[in-house]
Structure 1
Amino acid sequence: MTTTEPQSILSLGATLGEGPVWVERDAALWFVDIKEQRIYRFDPALGAARSWEAPAQVGWILPTDDGLFAVGLQTGVHRFDPADGSFTLLHAPEAHLPGNRQNDACVAPDGAIWFGSMDDGEEAQSGHFYRFHKGVCADTGLPPVCITNGPALSPDGRILYHTDTLGKRIWRTALSADGAVGDTSLFVEIEDGAGYPDGPTVDAEGCVWTGLFFGWAVRRYDPAGRLMHEVRFPVSNITKIAFGGEGLTTAYVTTARKGLDLTALTSQPLAGDLFAFDAGVAGLPGPIATL
């Protein structure tokens, strides 16, 4: 597999860039800066971005079947309308946990949104995974962890990959046709010194890519959990990739300045930028969420 070196394509300096998703109807990449409470739309044809302010920390954004977006704010799942910048609450799954926030999400082939929460203080084991579909939000029952990441789904939607970031483990769980969770097994454990597994993404060949926070890289694992490839970056905090562009072969990558002291920031002037590289493999077309 051939790849090009990652290049900064948008100078941003994001505190915690996250959640990139390619939206085909816009021919654009959408992503967020969680800590700065901003939503971004990047137009590759113009090389320019537009942003919106969110009313709370925003963990993810996904396109919906009404032509708008669902977003995961700290206060709950909202509908977002870019035309007027409005947010409408759809569901607040953790109103009883004000110290939690939402962190990452994906859309299943059936249009369901799978998302995770986490302790904003990064200490308590209070992060859960949820499934939201057609107005119904349910806890998946997967064991709670401090920082969830993902989930991501296999091409057929029958395997859920979900990450315990501080535990340095990515798990795989079987899913039934109706989205019920089944058996869980360890998929990958990141070795000491390689950083922490952040957002996972699955490509068209069923392989799993993960960003490595404090790890200077993204990695690609085959469906059996074997390391196939690693792409190194000039910045340490790699959060997540999304496949987009023509043929879905461009890997767009969000990064973060969070956790870097002045010395680190001086040596990493591109920290927090949006990067891209030629992945050498196609991603999966992004499903549209059905609220």
Structure 2
Amino acid sequence: MTPQLAWECACLLGEGPVWLEAEQALRFVDIKGRAVLRYDPASGRGERLETGGMPSFIYPTDGDALLFGSEQQLKLLYPDGHVETHCDIPEPGRNRTNDGAVDPDGRLWFGLSDMPEDHPGGELRCYDRGRITRKLDGVTVPNGPAICTEGRLLYHVDSPNRAIWRFTIAEDGSLTDHLLFTQIEEQAGYPDGVVLDAEGCLWVALWDGWGVRRYGPDGQLLDHIPFPCARVTKLAFGGPDLTTAFITTARGGLSEAELADQPLAGSLFTFESPVAGHHPHRVKLS
């Protein structure tokens, strides 16, 4: 599993890759580049749509639009490129949307990250058919979440504290059974985006950690894939059989010397995985 360059897209903060089966293409965002991107592996072509704001994740919906989070709003991106606001996120503070995931019931779970990432004022929230509720607070930079195929387990990343937690999603949508899944050691960087594969193993991107890790359901480290750049942000499974891993990275905040040492920082990478992933669930808008 050696990463290969897919697209030298030079993202300031590439994030949120998601495979769209109908398009046989990958969508992802550049948060600080204020854009939504599309990559077609068959042609090798990439497209960039400037959206303004700070788009942080993007998912298909039960309609013809894609839903993405941007600062304190959820927005819809239509096939013709038109963007409109779907709803505002009740947020009196300085938080912005960060990472997200969709469960089998079509609920969108997403983090609100503290800005400028120096205070534990972040939260985990859930969008359920137009209603947004708070599920967890007291975090600075929430990442993930990742949700198992049965919709019962949720993995939540507290990036600055290098901790990955696992919860049970109760029937009423509350989070119970708070368990520390794994603690990333200091020299390995910070856990960023996470995703689950078909064997229930968790893939973790390492910010300032130069790689991606795979953990078993029991929290045991199974594999580590080194990358040619430090700021690895998230992985998604795609391709016809969902065994192609697509990985976003970031170049924002690196010095000139660091960029000279890692010129591909901010690119989209790929490798062939021995295990398949899952198709993303669609957000139910109503």
**Smaller-chain TM-score range?**
over 0.9
Partner Cα separation in structure 2 for residue 178 and residue 22 of structure 1: 29
Give the letter aligned to residue 104 of structure 2: P
Give the letter aligned to residue 230 of structure 1: H
Matched position secondary structure for 1:105: strand
Partners of 2:29 and 2:57 within 8 A in 1: yes
Give the letter aligned to residue 274 of structure 1: L
Displacement after TM superposition at 1:132 (Å): 0.5
Q: Deviations over 1:37-86 (max 9, x none)?
A: 00001111111111211130111111101021111000311222241332
Partners of 2:121 and 2:137 within 8 A in 1: no
Q: Deviations over 1:175-234 (max 9, x none)?
A: 123422112110010001100000010001111001000000100001111100010101
Matched position secondary structure for 1:272: coil
Partner Cα separation in structure 2 for residue 217 and residue 64 of structure 1: 31
Partner Cα separation in structure 2 for residue 133 and residue 78 of structure 1: 15
Partners of 1:33 and 1:58 within 8 A in 2: yes
Identity %: 43
Deviates more, 1:115-124 or 1:81-90: 81-90
Give the letter aligned to residue 100 of structure 1: N
Matched position secondary structure for 1:39: strand
1:19-30 paired onto structure 2 within 5 Å: 19-30=16-27
Matched position secondary structure for 1:193: helix
Give the letter aligned to residue 64 of structure 1: T
The runs of 5 or more residues in structure 1 that have no matched partner are none
- RMSD after superposition: 1.1
Partners of 2:64 and 2:79 within 8 A in 1: no
Displacement after TM superposition at 1:131 (Å): 0.8
Decide which of 130, 134, 149 is 2:129's aligned counterpart: 134
Displacement after TM superposition at 1:136 (Å): 0.9
1:41-190 paired onto structure 2 within 5 Å: 41-94=38-91, 96-97=92-93, 99-140=94-135, 142-190=136-184
Q: How does the TM-score come out when normalised to structure 1?
A: 0.95
Partner Cα separation in structure 1 for residue 116 and residue 79 of structure 2: 30
Deviates more, 1:45-54 or 1:109-118: 45-54
> Partner residue of 1:267?
261
Partner Cα separation in structure 2 for residue 268 and residue 45 of structure 1: 27
Does residue 219 of structure 2 align to residue 225 of structure 1? yes
Aligned length: 285
Partner Cα separation in structure 1 for residue 179 and residue 167 of structure 2: 7
Deviates more, 1:239-248 or 1:258-267: 258-267
Partners of 1:56 and 1:75 within 8 A in 2: no
Matched position secondary structure for 1:144: strand
Matched position secondary structure for 2:259: helix
Q: Deviations over 1:18-43 (max 9, x none)?
A: 00000111111000000010000111
Q: Deviations over 1:90-131 (max 9, x none)?
A: 23231x12x211110011011110100111211011110011
